[in-house]
Structure 1
Amino acid sequence: MDDSTKVTALIMAGKRSGVLDPLAERAGVAQKCVVPVNGVAMVERVARQVAACEQVGAIRIVAHEPDEIAQQPTIARLLEEGRLTFAEGKFNIVDSVFSGAEGADFALLITTADNCLVTPEGYSEFIGKCLEAGAGGAAGLARKEDVQKADPDGQKRFYEFKDGGYSNCNMYWLGSEQALSAAEIMREGGQFVKFPRRIIKAFGFMNLIRFRMGWGSKEKLFDQISRRFGIKLVPVVLSDGHYAIDVDNERTFEVTEKILKRREGDAASA
């Protein structure tokens, strides 16, 4: 894949307005994305994995406080090479995406700075499936059974469809500038499993019923959203349940670090 056909990666590394994340406070840093997990800051990990994905060209980190992030070694190197730039974080996920997308070459791969377990192969799988589907927009999903295999004592709530349960992997695709309109779905922050009123606002009341009862397929739901926004939106099912585990709190921090220690060895004892 030559540079003209590579995608631009947005790494969402913002912070909540006026709130110090508990993990950041414990680690003595100003923002969650630089909290070390098995010895490496989360955003540094994600930047390494994204940069190692052969389908990714330019990288943008969308952040409120870039100086602390820019000190990370891989990020500093990518900045020096001119491959990575910063975009201004806004205090809303949709406006932050718009900020990151301004002037960027599409398509966009969007991921989050706490997606510590996604590998270059995971990003490559997602991009390949989006391209194969001709997606204008897409969301990465993992099967319930794969997530539970990766973290048996973890997540209990899933998006339920006719063909089973799925979890969000915090990986998104915008194939063109026109597809930015679909980002409005996330205006209130997503988390539809926890906040069903957001389903009503984004998708309508009947889709909430279908969603809660598991009556419809994920493909049908995405088709209905596609008609609303006038672009082809697709669900992309990924092969590894680890991709649905991000660092949201103390429990998921401990799970993620345990998995990384199995993969890499314990950085504390190295």
Structure 2
Amino acid sequence: MSGKFDVILLAAQRTGIVNPLGQAHGVSHKCLIPIAGKMLIARTLESVTSHPGCRAVHVLIEPDGEAAVRPVAEAFAREGVPIHIISSDSNIAGSVLSGCDNGHPPFVITTADNVLIKHDSIDRVVKAMASGAGAVAALANKDDIRRVHPVAQRFFYEFRDHGYANCNLYGIADQHALEAVEIFREGGQFMNHPRRLVNAFGLFNILMMRFGWISIDNAFQRMSKRFGIDMRRVPLSDGTQAIDVDNERTYRIVEAILENRVHELKI
């Protein structure tokens, strides 16, 4: 596998629901919210397109948001790194697969509100896929996140060894892994359809993860067996990588982190 990859950038919001943070900031879509002088999606695009391995970016957003996002995307497109605007699906898995249908593996997947994403984090995801992983998910542990800010995250996946939060950064290595992801296309909101959740993960696996009876790596081993692909976690020690802009609280935290980065560059 070469060091090149396509980026799937998820910028959509729930169909028919006005995002409260976007509404509070006077924009139609959350990805258009300005933070520390730039739109959320502009900051994320700046990070992913400046990575030397980025081959193309596929932005998934609802049709009514395309006009606003297109000029922002065009500002970051460069020779050899096109940015495609694609209509999002009704659920996240469908959007991911639609983006993948328009690109070439391997894929790095993230969200437009993941404005703190770093090249090193992307490098680790790409390295895991290059070493044989079919699908990967980047996670940070609870202690590293709380060292950044005590309330940067309020929910953690608790396993036997520790608590973790996802970093909204994933990788899909090849067509075989994409075929395994297909199970989620019709899944919709799993929490509203428990039977779909059980069918996808298996009841025993769900119970073991829910009650913290297994370690995080054992959970990934079980999921690998369930889906027939090598699924791995990518541990990130930088707690900022698990903090995205979900609400006004995290908006203020991320804003402060961004402003501190600028201050450190000036010193």
Structures share a fold, TM > 0.5?
yes
1:68-87 correspondence runs (5 A): 68-72=68-72, 75-79=73-77, 81=79, 83-87=82-86
Structure 1 partner of 2:97:
98
Structure 1 partner of 2:61:
63
**Does the 8 Å CA contact 1:199/1:207 hold for their aligned counterparts?**
no
The counterpart of 2:234, out of the listed 193, 216, 236, is 236
**Does the 8 Å CA contact 1:137/1:182 hold for their aligned counterparts?**
no
Take 1:164 and 1:77, find their aligned partners in 2: how far apart are those partners?
41
Structure 2 partner of 1:268:
none
1:243 shift after superposition: 0.7
Structure 2 partner of 1:138:
136
* 1:151-199 CA distance string (max 9 Å, x none): 2123233112222111111111111122123433583457x8xx99886
Structure 1 partner of 2:36:
38
1:259 shift after superposition: 1.1
Take 2:155 and 2:184, find their aligned partners in 1: how far apart are those partners?
20
SS at match of 2:55: strand
Name the aligned partner's letter for residue 119 of structure 1. Answer: K
| Structure 1: unaligned runs, 5 residues or longer | 266-270
**Does the 8 Å CA contact 1:54/1:124 hold for their aligned counterparts?**
no
SS at match of 1:153: coil
Take 1:233 and 1:23, find their aligned partners in 2: how far apart are those partners?
33
The number of residue pairs the alignment matches comes to 258
1:200 shift after superposition: 3.9
SS at match of 2:152: coil
1:113-192 correspondence runs (5 A): 113-132=112-131, 134-183=132-181, 184-185=183-184, 187-189=187-189
| Structure 2: unaligned runs, 5 residues or longer | none
* 1:89-132 CA distance string (max 9 Å, x none): 11211111111011311000000000011122222232223323
Take 1:140 and 1:71, find their aligned partners in 2: how far apart are those partners?
30
TM-score, normalising length: structure 1: 0.87
Measured on the aligned residues, the alpha-carbon RMSD in Å equals 2.4
SS at match of 2:158: strand
1:227 shift after superposition: 1.9
